Structure formats: C-alpha cells, structure tokens
C-alpha cells in the first residue's frame, strides 16, 4: 500500500492501527488457485486463526475459500460470516469430547488427531465421517515453535498407529473420509512439502473410503525485499501430477485441500504505530512507539522479522534504531534497524502484519487492542473499532472485601 494512503488512514483512525489490503488477499488467493488448477477438485481452507476478523472471513467466503478452524469459537465465527457447515473444517488439538460433540451438532467437518477421541467419537457418532490427522514425522518450519510435524510434536497420529485407526474404523462402523497433516509454518522448500506429501499418500492408501487428502498450510511468504518464498507454482505443478496419479491408482477422484494462513493474508497487512519518543544513549538510539508486544508479538515470541519503515519521512537519511514498545518488559520490534530519520510523532509501518498479528494481540498492561481497517479499491472500511475502557472492564466483577 502507498505510504500516503497509510498516513491518511493513521490520521483518520489513529494509531496503533492494523490495515489490510483486500486486493493483496485476492491476488494471493488467485495465485494459489492457479498453482493447483490441474487438479479436478481443489479446496482452499483459509486458516482462520491467522486473521479472524469477520469481514475478512466474509471476503474469503466471497472468493470461494472454505475455512479451517481450530476452536469451536472460530467455527461459530465462520458460520456467522456465512459459511455453510460443510464449508468449515474443524481441526482442533487436544480438545474435550464436549467440544467435538458441539462441532458435530453444528454439522461441520471433523478432524481428529488422537486415538481415544477417535474411538469415543466413532462410538457415539458412527454415521458422521471423520478425517484423521497424521503426524508426518518431519521437522520443518521457520522456528522451533511453529515446527509441529516432528515425531515428538503433540499433533497428529503417528503413522505406525494407522492400523489402530483402522481397527477403530472397523469396530465402531464409522468412516474415515480424509487424511490430513500440517508440518509447520514458514516452510520454504518445495522438497519438504513433497516429502511430507509422500507420507500422507502412504497413509491415504491404507484407507478405502476417502473423499479428500488435506496437506495443511505452511507456505512461506517474503518478509523483506529479495526474501525467498515458497514457489507454490513449482510445488503445484509437481503435486498435481503426483496427486492425479494417486487418484488413478486409488480408483477415485479425491479432493485436494490446502489450509494456508500466512500465504493468503500475511503480506496484506500493515501495522501502523506512532513514535512517542526518541531516546538516545551512548550505545543505542531507541524509537519508542505507542504499541508493544500486546499488539504484535511475533518479533518477541518467535524472533520474527517484520520490516519497519518510517512512512512519515521515507526519504530522510537512514540511521540505526532499536524500535521498542511501551510494555513494562523488553519488547523490541527490531534491533539495529536502518530506518529513515525518525522524529517523535512519525508513523512507523510494520509489514507482514496480516497473519498472526491482530489475532495474537492481548490486553496486557490493560492496553486497548488496536482498530482494524480493510482497504478495497481505494476505499477504506473500519472493520474493528479500537477498544475502550469499557472493553477492559467488560466481564470483570468488582468485589470489595
């Protein structure tokens, strides 16, 4: 998005502010769809957790995506946004049986990743088909926290337990209708996706009544200029051939499913924050902003890189800064960053703030969560108001002892 557009939005709505470019989301969706256009039945389930604002979900619906949801609340949001139950896949980890039951009663597609719940579910709802999540036993992803397909990860059923899954299928009379995996997030190499896919193909072969294979999400996007990103076109062309051959051998045209979060929305987002203070010491020049890890936690939690620019003064000489937040513990957004000369009052823009940015925000330090704006064809739409003191106090009960 143009700096001038972002500045005028910061002036109109105040900071801190999340701004999403709907056209970027649309073009990413089109790119992904085209990459897999050689498959008869492709479904793209947007990973809701990445950006769950209801207006973004409605945009996804209008594009034709389905949803991947990890909690019953995400399912409810999806339904409210207009998705039909059959367009929602519920892919939880370690939830209670009651939550699975709720999802079943709402009619959404169910994905289960452990044997006890599979057995309990099949016993109670033998008529509802279920997808099982397989652990691909592959270590991949941008960092340890988001590498979740390794053999010690809590996710998925190990491949050596597939025979037990089949026993449960037989004994309960339920039907396993899909196999699923998600190896991790920020995975660059096509080879890793292909290696993981082979694990899933061998799992899939062992089930006789599948409707789909779900390869999860995890495509890496660029975080800065000249940064590398997953070549989805290359992956698409290889996996398409492999998948079509698999279907031939399997004797049925299955659907192929992907669950991208970052790929669809990461680059669409800019997070705008105002500089409160420039503080110079013998060692460091700090730019202190009116935000903290309560608003964007990825740099502190994962060491994630978010490119920071001074959109108020983009042509000034560059200087070295540590960009820090106002939270009562270390919250460094960027260390030793070369940024155009920053003055108090300038607006800084953080890129790649579309995925896992607002959705991971909190009220730590009793701060308000930011407003969110969506821009489409030059028009801006406020899609979430900034919180107020009422939101902070909401649900609190005052007790005087």
Residues annotated as catalytic (active site), given as ranges: 328
Q: Does the protein bind ligand LLP through residue 43 (CB under 6 A)? A: no
CB 352 within 8 A of CB 316: no
d(CA 174, CA 112): 13
Residue in 146, 192, 232, 308 binding ligand LLP, rule: CB under 6 A: 146
- Closer by beta carbon to ligand LLP, 302 or else 305: 302
The answer to whether 269 and 18 are in contact (CB under 8 A) is yes
CB count in 10 Å sphere of residue 222: 15
Q: Which of 306, 401, 307, 319 is nearest to 360 (CA)?
A: 306
Q: Which residues contact 168 (CB under 8 A, 6 or more apart)?
A: 115, 118, 119, 122, 174
Site size for ligand LLP (CB under 6 A): 20
Token match 């590498």: residue?
Answer: 147
| Strand pairing category for 255-258 and 212-214 | parallel
- Shortest Å distance, C-beta 72 to ligand LLP: 15
Between 43 and 274, CB nearer to ligand LLP: 43
Residues of this chain, 63-82, that bind ligand LLP according to CB under 6 A: 68
Produce one character per residue of 74-106: b if its CB has 16 or more CB atoms within 10 Å, e if not: bbebbbebebeeebbbbbbbebeeebbebbbee
- Binding-site member from 185, 270, 312, 349 for ligand LLP (CB under 6 A): 185
Position 372 contacts ligand LLP (CB under 6 A)? no
Binders of ligand LLP among residues 252 to 281 (CB under 6 A) are 259-263
Question: What tokens does 155 get?
Answer: 């996710």
Q: Which of 6, 39, 50, 339 is close enough to bind ligand LLP by CB under 6 A?
A: 50
Q: Supply the minimum distance, in Å, between the C-beta of residue 145 and ligand LLP.
A: 7
Residue 92 binds ligand LLP (CB under 6 A): no
- Considering only 28, 89, 91, 230, the residue that binds ligand LLP (CB under 6 A) is 91
Tell me if 356 contacts ligand LLP by CB under 6 A: yes
Host H or E run for residue 46 = strand 42-47
Residue 178 binds ligand LLP, judged by CB under 6 A = no
Q: Tell whether residue 367 is a contact of ligand LLP (CB under 6 A).
A: no
Do 346 and 27 meet the contact criterion of CB atoms below 8 Å apart?
Answer: no
Which range, of 20-28, 118-126, 212-220, 372-380, touches ligand LLP by CB under 6 A?
212-220
Q: Is 276 helix (H, G, I), strand (E, B) or coil?
A: strand
**Positive or negative CA dihedral for 141, 147, 149, 152?**
positive
- 295 touches ligand LLP by CB under 6 A: no
Applying CB under 6 A, which part among 25-33, 211-219, 285-293, 345-353 lies near ligand LLP?
A: 211-219
Binding to ligand LLP (CB under 6 A) within 308-347 occurs at: none
Handedness of CA 100, 196, 267, 358 (dihedral sign): positive
What is d(CA 376, CA 391) in angstroms, rounded to the nearest whole number? 28
Residue 5 beta carbon to ligand LLP: minimum distance, rounded to whole angstroms: 25
> By the criterion CB under 6 A, which residues form the site for ligand LLP?
47, 50, 68, 91, 146, 182, 185, 216-219, 259-263, 298, 302, 355-356
């Amino acid at each position: 998005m143009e700096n001038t557009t972002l500045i005028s939005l910061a002036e109109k709505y105040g900071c801190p502010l999340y701004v999403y470019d709907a056209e970027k989301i649309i073009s990413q969706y089109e790119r992904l769809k085209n990459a897999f256009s050689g498959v008869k039945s492709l479904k793209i389930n947007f990973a809701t957790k990445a950006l769950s604002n209801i207006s973004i979900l409605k945009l996804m619906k209008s594009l034709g995506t389905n949803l991947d949801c990890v909690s019953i609340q995400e399912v409810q949001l999806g339904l409210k946004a207009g998705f039909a139950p059959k367009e929602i896949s519920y892919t939880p980890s370690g939830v209670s049986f009651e939550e699975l039951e709720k999802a079943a009663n709402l009619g959404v597609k169910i994905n289960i990743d452990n044997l006890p719940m599979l057995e309990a579910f099949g016993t109670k709802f033998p008529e509802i088909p279920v997808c099982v999540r397989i652990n691909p036993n592959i270590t991949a992803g941008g960092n340890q926290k988001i590498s979740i397909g390794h053999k010690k990860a809590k996710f998925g059923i190990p491949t050596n337990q597939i025979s037990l899954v089949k026993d449960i299928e037989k004994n309960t009379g339920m039907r396993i209708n899909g196999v699923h995996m998600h190896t991790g997030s920020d995975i660059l190499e096509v080879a890793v996706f292909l290696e993981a896919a082979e694990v899933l193909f061998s799992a899939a072969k062992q089930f006789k009544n599948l409707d789909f294979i779900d390869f999860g999400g995890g495509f890496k996007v660029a975080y800065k200029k000249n940064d590398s990103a997953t070549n989805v076109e290359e992956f698409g062309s290889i996996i398409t051939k492999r998948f079509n051959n698999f279907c031939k051998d399997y004797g049925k045209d299955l659907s192929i499913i992907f669950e991208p979060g970052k790929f669809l929305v990461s680059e669409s987002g800019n997070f705008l924050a105002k500089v409160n203070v420039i503080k110079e010491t013998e060692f460091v020049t700090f730019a202190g902003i009116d935000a903290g890890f309560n608003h964007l936690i990825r740099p502190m939690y994962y060491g994630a890189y978010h490119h920071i620019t001074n959109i108020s003064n983009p042509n000034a000489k560059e200087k070295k800064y540590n960009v820090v937040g106002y939270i009562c513990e270390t919250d460094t957004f960027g260390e030793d960053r070369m940024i155009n000369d920053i003055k108090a009052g300038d607006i800084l823009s953080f890129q790649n703030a579309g995925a896992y940015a607002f959705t991971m925000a909190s009220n730590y330090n009793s701060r308000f969560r930011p407003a969110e704006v969506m821009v489409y064809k030059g028009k801006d739409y406020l899609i979430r108001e900034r919180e107020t003191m009422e939101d902070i106090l909401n649900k609190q009960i005052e007790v005087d002892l």
